[in-house]
Chains A and B, each alone.
Chain A
Amino acid sequence: MSEFTYGGEYRDMPDPDTCTDKEWAAYVHYRNGAPGLKKEWWYHGPSGTWFIAERDTMTDKISRTYIAGQEEAK
């Protein structure tokens, strides 16, 4: 068992009430797969903590971590 679990890219959800079906389908299925610095969800199992890591998907270097919504805190 690994301490950390990858939770996918952090993505903003479109407004389900105003977006088109196509926009919603794109949100559900499409991803920004190009390499670069990404905001990602990661979970630390032993402490049960989700956090956001900013990670370069090319070099695997993590530049920042913080709790979602508390970006300014750190």
Chain B
Amino acid sequence: MQDVVLKSPVAFAQASKKPVNGQVNGMEIALSFADASVEAAHSETLGICDVSNLSRFGVKGPHAADWLTASNITLPAGTNRWTKLDSGSLVMRLGNTEFLLEDQPENGLCQTLSEANVNESGVHKVIRNDAAFIVSGELTPALFSEVCAIDLNGDALEDNRLVMTVIAGVSATMLKQELNGQSVYRIWCDGTYGPYMWKTLLGIIEELGGGPVGFNFYYKIN
């Protein structure tokens, strides 16, 4: 399936912004929307970036934790928490028995795990189709106050906690991480809601003076 070019679930919602697209991880993604300086400004004020093309791996079941541990993967401290591996990959524990892993562009952990055989009972691979976003900037509280009922000023996302909540009417998973020295929010939702989520968040982001940011802003791909 190497020669197949896949599309980000968000692609058609982005078309009107005429991004420069490119292929990363076998998926066509919006690399940039504007000059680097404009995107940097957005990222600082309020920006949203589609990173649906990052590789992901899902696994679920009563023995999923054991299986991951046996695969030498460090697990988060508890339920609804996440951790970052040395490689930069994120390991998220969604509830108790489900895990979502997400790679950085350069590493292939998810690919390896996807191809690994699972013979144990109680370990089930989960096909994922996430729309995945980075949201950043000083006005993120203003954005989230319009789309999300939980208190993000409190400790909901501190200490590597993640939350599964409703964002703009859609179930989503959310966490806060450091990326390139910047504190950013990460959002994942079902890919079929991706175009809606992108349009809705971007609409508010633009009202607040921010804008879209391309994949290249966070991950320089040559």
Contact = CB atoms under 8 A, between A and B. Distances in A.
Nearest to B150: A3
A46 B169 contact: no
Given A46-B164, A47-B164, A1 B170 contact: yes
Given A45-B171, A46-B171, A46-B172, A1 B95 contact: no
Interface size class of B (residues with CB under 8 A): 10 to 19
B146 to A, nearest CB: 15
B165 A49 contact: no
* Binding site secondary structure of chain B: strand
A3 B166 contact: yes
Interface in A13-49: 44-49
A2 B80 CA distance: 20
Contacts of A44: 164
B165 A46 contact: yes
A10 B170 CA distance: 27
Nearest to B169: A1
Interface of B: 80, 94-95, 149, 164-166, 169-173
23 contacts: A1-B166, A1-B169, A1-B170, A1-B171, A2-B166, A3-B149, A3-B165, A3-B166, A44-B164, A45-B166, A45-B171, A46-B164, A46-B165, A46-B166, A46-B171, A46-B172, A46-B173, A47-B80, A47-B94, A47-B95, A47-B164, A48-B95, A49-B95
Interface of A: 1-3, 44-49
Given A46-B165, A46-B172, A46-B173, 7 more contacts: A1-B170, A1-B171, A3-B166, A45-B166, A46-B171, A47-B95, A47-B164
